[in-house]
């Protein structure tokens, strides 16, 4: 009887630890679709860090998972943070009037044969706002021509963000951190 109680105690402790880790620290996610290609691929399995919600701020270039609807999470890249202005002109990103390089787009740009990867737009044209509001983010998929992102769904509120991710654990060929 003592041995059964010992096993039950160990199982309960393990379940509590797993619950705490999954609720407050890390959660696995599966990439669905091609909106983050070539950086991420359909069915990539990643670890999302929820710690970023409690410590520090999100930065431009971070890859985040957020609740797009009650039943659907999206994975996108943070392009603009609270207080930023944003414009795309001639396939170049401008944040607060300064040109910003996006090295994660180079592979797709090379395949476009001179055609723009990202169409021209301003923040105001797509959201009606001239700056990103407080506690909100403008996010886009790396596959700019095949991504439902802030250009369609608007800003993503901080409260909707599950966490940030940059670690692929499956498939093993892609195992490791995502390079910017």
Catalytic residues: 35, 76
Tallying the residues shown for the chain, one arrives at: 180
- The Cα-based distances of 22 to 26, 57, 69 in angstroms read 5, 21, 20
One-character DSSP codes across 6-40: HHHHHHHHHHHHHHHIIIIIEEEEE--SSTTTTTS
Q: In degrees rounded to 5, what are phi and psi of residue 173?
A: -60, -30
Q: How far apart, in whole angstroms, are the C-alpha atoms of residue 180 and residue 89?
A: 21
């Amino acid at each position: 009887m003592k041995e059964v109680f010992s096993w039950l105690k160990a199982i309960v402790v393990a379940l509590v630890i797993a619950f705490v880790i999954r609720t407050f620290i890390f959660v696995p996610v599966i990439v669905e679709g091609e909106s983050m290609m070539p950086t991420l691929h359909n069915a990539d399995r990643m670890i999302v860090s929820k710690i970023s919600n409690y410590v520090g701020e999100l930065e431009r270039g971070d890859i985040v998972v957020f609740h797009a609807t009650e039943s659907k999470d999206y994975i996108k890249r943070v392009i603009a943070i609270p207080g930023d202005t944003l414009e795309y002109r001639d396939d170049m990103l401008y944040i607060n009037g300064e040109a910003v390089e996006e090295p994660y787009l180079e592979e797709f740009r090379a395949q476009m044969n001179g055609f723009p990867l990202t169409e021209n737009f301003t923040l105001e044209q797509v959201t009606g706002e001239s700056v990103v509001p407080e506690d909100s983010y403008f996010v886009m998929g790396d596959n700019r021509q095949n991504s439902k992102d802030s250009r369609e769904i608007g800003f993503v509120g901080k409260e909707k963000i599950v966490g940030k991710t940059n670690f692929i654990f499956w498939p093993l060929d892609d195992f490791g951190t995502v390079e910017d």
